[in-house]
Structure 1
Amino acid sequence: MKEQSGASNTKRKFAVISACVVVLLCVLGVLGFQKMHQPPPARDVKKSALTILSIPTIMSNLDTGDGRARYVKITARVQTEGTPDAAKMALVMPQIQDAFQTCLHGMRPDEMEGVGIYRLRETMLVQIENIMAPLPVKDLFFVEVLVQ
């Protein structure tokens, strides 16, 4: 008779332990589900003011390949996040103008049509971001592009 009660106790212990494991897994599943479907915690996000800086008008000659002089005149503006320091901007503006000059000297007049303006904008945006770092540059706008 004692062997049956010992086997019975073992079965009862196994049933209790199994029930505890099942309950624990259910609780962990519910907690995980709730955590997945919670909105992310609100962060303290400050909206920075966007500032538009004018780049002085740039005049450059284009590579025609035939010796004829062709010029381009570009007026552009840069949109930055935050308020830049005027003294720092005065120091980097010649670098920005030089980057424009370097890029424009290698372009042909036919590249200044259609998609070429977009490529020029993308190229210059990357260079301006590097020059003005760590100030975040958001966009580059061409106000005037005149090819003569």
Structure 2
Amino acid sequence: MSTLVIPIGVDAILLASGHMNNPAWLPHAKLHCAMSFFAAASLGISALAILKVRPTYDLFSMGLAAFLGSAFWIGLIASGFWSGTSYGFLNDPVLGNIREPELFGIVIYPNVIAAIITIVIAIAGYWFANQATLIERSRLKENA
């Protein structure tokens, strides 16, 4: 769900002036931003569709849904390592000089925190599905 809600809700609505409505952005930069919105929505919808139509004991499907729900966020974290990119809005010509919060001298970027939380939830969901499958299989063996 966060792959659907956060990129579209936060970036497209709350931070629209720093993204799609930013006059400093070239049209091609806006194209890439729009691509990321639609990629996030496609991945999120695909993950939800798999969860809806496949049984939870199908661990491949659960793993695929976990990956699809996390792929956008994995990409966000990886993109920050690309030279010239930034997770924050420091010195943004439209939003100004927004400083990100710090904890013990470490800059905390909200989008990276959202990414980490989403990835951890996806991994935990897969782990719980796996545990439930193992428990169910052991019950079936006992009753056989």
TM-score w.r.t. the length of structure 2 is: 0.25
Q: Looking at secondary structure, tell me which structure has more helix per residue.
A: 2
- Greater strand share, structure number: 1
